[in-house]
A and B are shown apart, each in its own frame.
Chain A
Amino acid sequence: MDFNLQEDPPELAAFRREVAAWMEENMRGGDHLRWSASWSTRENEEEYHFRRNLANKLGRKGWLFPMFPKQYGGAGMTMAHQVVLETELLKYGLSLSHVFYTLARIVAPVVLKWGTEEQKREFLPPMARGEISVWQVLTEPQGGSDVANCQTKAIRDGDDYVVTGQKVMVGHHVAPDFLWTLVCTNPQGKRHENLGWLHIPANLPGIEIQPMYLMMGIKNSVFFDGVRVPAKYLVGGENNGWKVANTHLELEHGGDGRIGVDPLVERVIEYCQKNEAGGKKLIEDERIRDTIADMMLELNTLRRFNQRNFYHRFARKPHPYGGVQQRYFQRMARLRNGERLQQIMGVDALVQDLSVHEVVDFEYAVRTGPGQLHGGGTLDTDRLVFARRVGLGRPVFEKAPETI
């Protein structure tokens, strides 16, 4: 067992120095722009441009997807290199797997797994260089969990697919370059065998994006009205969309893994050392100490689940249920922590603090507790997948889909 993320084998020491120096250089003047989730819901233009620009610079060095082959825009490096990059970025509260303001972290590995050689050469390098932003657009108005019951039609017509339908609750405040989506390619076909997966340029005629104002910030509706999508954008082949979806969903449902510490506890401690009640610092209060301890144990458990999944993914040792387990636990812990924050800091937990990034803002943490319970599938789908992977009540269990 070796959980070490900081001490490198000798051959990597120089690489860590190189990355550290590079980050220092490129974060200069951007101290107030530390921290990141996939995106911020605050619609801060300065932050948006800074982070896209940073992703682009990292990407040009092959560092956004360090383990990807060089011909597709990666750096052909090892897991140890990736760990160095992740941990050096983490010093600024950033993470490679968030490939800023795009879902490329999931999309690119799926293209690598299911794309043709031509598609890989065309689609991957711009993603790996951080030049384009991709939204995942799966949820439809009639429901999210039953992804296979997809009503957006893509009917083959000559060299194109003609796409008509609507996706909801996707993206963020700046329109993307591509829409990554599941469509129904054969309305008469059998369930699971009637689907296709499209990588759709977002600027095609007939696409309209409208904002939705939600608990967790801005998301969007995407309308497709007879959009002609060239057939070369079909990934994974004719009527094979469900298999592509499985790889995609395994990554999205926790299987992608992560290295890093949730910064929330650190900020809670800072708050409790600074603030007083009844002439006593909050950190000296027994009840608050107990509450922080519970929070800390859960966030540490989450950190270990994330690291376990990261390891299993990149060491190519598939874990049968690690992904959905992490995801279910993460969302329940987030919900519980929202309540804990309210117990610790009272009404301060409900008021936005614009002086810090939303990732460490108490109000954001409380609000997204219930707000992020469903993203990418409900808690119940997590548990359904778990049951199949373990084989509860079944003579055989389902293997985890292969990811990259």
Chain B
Amino acid sequence: MDLTLNETQEMFKKVAADFVKAEVPAHEMTQWYRMKETFRPDLYRKTAEVGWVGMLLPEKYGGGEAAYTDCAVVFEELGRGPVPGPLFSAGALGAQIVFEGGSEEQKKSWLPEICRGELIPVPAFADTAAAWGPESIETRIAKSGDGFTLQGKKRFVFDAEAATHFIVAARTENGEVALVLIDRKSPGITVNRLIGFTVSAAEVVFEGARVPSSNVISAGSGWRILDAALEKTLPLLCSYQVGACQEIFDFTVEYTRSRVVFGQPIGRFQRVQDHCVDISIHLDAARWATYETLWLLDSGQPAKASVHEAKAIASEGYHHACNYAHMVFAGPGTDYGHPLMAHSVLAHTLYQYLGTPAHHKKLMMDELFPRAR
């Protein structure tokens, strides 16, 4: 047993922390979130240059061949920003889908481009608002000439605005799930940003958009591929949320020292202390669930139930950490100029993204205790 980060991980952590400090200063970051201009092409290019895009992939495809935990410490620091951009959606999940399901030719041609940050493949799979399982895939794919066409509406595509391409999950004529890579500039694709208490998300509409045959990643076993890619990358999203919770905890603790009311720092009030205890519990519950899952993946043990558990705990944790921080910060925490607002809107978005905690708890139970048929 050794519950510490190793030297490499400590180094990755420091590099990432310095990067966040230099490239994502709070006064700029808060404005990106306020204006919903969260895709920063320069920032994404820089993260690719440092080697964080496709970090899990083998070197022969341009990846970093990093261990899950190595990669996760980077995501944790990025979550502290919170650094926006498609580093998870395209750089981890999208890349992993291509790696899991693509032909050797597709991998050779797409993955190095993905790792350089030039091809940004954003997954678009759920058509419905409140489901993320295979049942949520309704967009139809149909044969047309020497290629295919897509017809349907993906309700919640995270990082859609950053996409150069979408990885679309669609129903074939016989009801199977296909996966295709489609150029965002193809005629028949509309990206409608979602306006509200969410960020970096859009509805993507496909109206007869054409996909060449060479861009089909899977003709019928798309769900299995998605599932495999999610199992390996969701823990990185959890780490991102852990980092975010840590940042919230740290700036909230600091605020209890500097904010004085009724003649004393608010941290001397037990009610305020209670909120901080609650933040710490969500933070550390998420941190250790995520670490344990990463360890299972790194040591080649079955991790599926644990991945779902970590996603449930981390999304719930980030959401609640924000809520408790709002109790401490009161008015000033609702100002879009305050980092808490960026976290708050992102926490609600990530609570939904790729499935709510309830969804993942259900999947955990199904994995551990399969239902009678």
Q: Which residues of A contact B (CB under 8 A)?
A: 1-5, 79-80, 83, 269, 281, 283-284, 289-290, 292-294, 296-297, 300-301, 304-305, 307-308, 311-312, 315, 317, 321, 325, 328-329, 380, 383-384, 386-387, 390-395
B15 cross-chain contacts in A, Cβ below 8 A: none
**By the criterion CB–CB under 8 Å, are B266 and A393 in contact?**
yes
**Is the CB of B248 closer than 8 A to any CB of chain A?**
no
- A145 CB, min distance to chain B CBs, angstroms: 13
Interface size class of B (residues with CB under 8 A): 35 or more
When A and B form their complex, which 4 residue pairs have the shortest distance between CB atoms, in order from nearest? A393-B267, A392-B267, A393-B265, A304-B288
Say whether, besides A284-B372, A290-B358, A384 and B273 are in contact (CB < 8 Å).
yes
Say whether, besides A284-B371, A383-B270, A392-B253, A2 and B288 are in contact (CB < 8 Å).
no
- A344 CB, min distance to chain B CBs, angstroms: 13
**Is the CB of B335 closer than 8 A to any CB of chain A?**
no
Say whether, besides A390-B253, A391-B257, A393-B267, A300 and B289 are in contact (CB < 8 Å).
yes
**By the criterion CB–CB under 8 Å, are A387 and B309 in contact?**
no
Say whether, besides A293-B361, A301-B313, A393-B257, A311 and B3 are in contact (CB < 8 Å).
yes
| Chain B residue at minimal CB-CB distance from A328 | B277
A179 to B219, CA, bound (A): 73
Q: Given A304-B288, A391-B253, A393-B268, 15 other A-B contacts at CB below 8 A? A: A1-B2, A1-B3, A3-B3, A3-B295, A79-B1, A293-B362, A297-B312, A305-B284, A328-B281, A384-B270, A386-B273, A386-B280, A393-B266, A393-B272, A393-B273
Which of B265, B285, B294 is within 8 Å of A1, CB to CB? B294
A297 to B308, CA, bound (A): 11
**By the criterion CB–CB under 8 Å, are A293 and B270 in contact?**
no
B276 cross-chain contacts in A, Cβ below 8 A: 386-387, 390, 392
- A86 CB, min distance to chain B CBs, angstroms: 11
**Is the CB of B233 closer than 8 A to any CB of chain A?**
no
| Chain B residue at minimal CB-CB distance from A387 | B273
| Chain A residue at minimal CB-CB distance from B266 | A393
**By the criterion CB–CB under 8 Å, are B1 and A300 in contact?**
no
**By the criterion CB–CB under 8 Å, are B361 and A290 in contact?**
yes
**By the criterion CB–CB under 8 Å, are A394 and B257 in contact?**
yes
| Chain B residue at minimal CB-CB distance from A5 | B1
Number of residue pairs spanning A and B whose beta carbons lie under 8 angstroms apart? 129
A387 cross-chain contacts in B, Cβ below 8 A: 267, 270, 273, 276-277
Which of A1, A3, A311, A329 is within 8 Å of B5, CB to CB? A1
A307 cross-chain contacts in B, Cβ below 8 A: 1, 3
**Is the CB of B291 closer than 8 A to any CB of chain A?**
yes
**Is the CB of B144 closer than 8 A to any CB of chain A?**
no
A394 cross-chain contacts in B, Cβ below 8 A: 257, 265, 267-268
Say whether, besides A293-B362, A391-B257, A393-B269, A304 and B289 are in contact (CB < 8 Å).
yes
B69 cross-chain contacts in A, Cβ below 8 A: 1
- B135 CB, min distance to chain A CBs, angstroms: 15
User: Residue-by-residue, is B306-333 near A (CB-CB < 8 Å gives 1, otherwise 0)?
Assistant: 0001001100000000000000000000
**By the criterion CB–CB under 8 Å, are B309 and A300 in contact?**
yes
A304 cross-chain contacts in B, Cβ below 8 A: 285, 288-289, 292
Which of B265, B273, B280, B289 is within 8 Å of A301, CB to CB? B289
**Is the CB of B109 closer than 8 A to any CB of chain A?**
no
**By the criterion CB–CB under 8 Å, are B267 and A325 in contact?**
no
A296 to B368, CA, bound (A): 11
| Chain B residue at minimal CB-CB distance from A280 | B372
B5 cross-chain contacts in A, Cβ below 8 A: 1
- B2 CB, min distance to chain A CBs, angstroms: 4
Within 8 A of A (CB), among B262-306: 264-270, 272-274, 276-277, 280-281, 284-285, 288-289, 291-292, 294-295, 298-299
**By the criterion CB–CB under 8 Å, are B281 and A329 in contact?**
yes
A391 to B265, CA, bound (A): 11
B312 cross-chain contacts in A, Cβ below 8 A: 293, 297
A79 to B3, CA, bound (A): 13
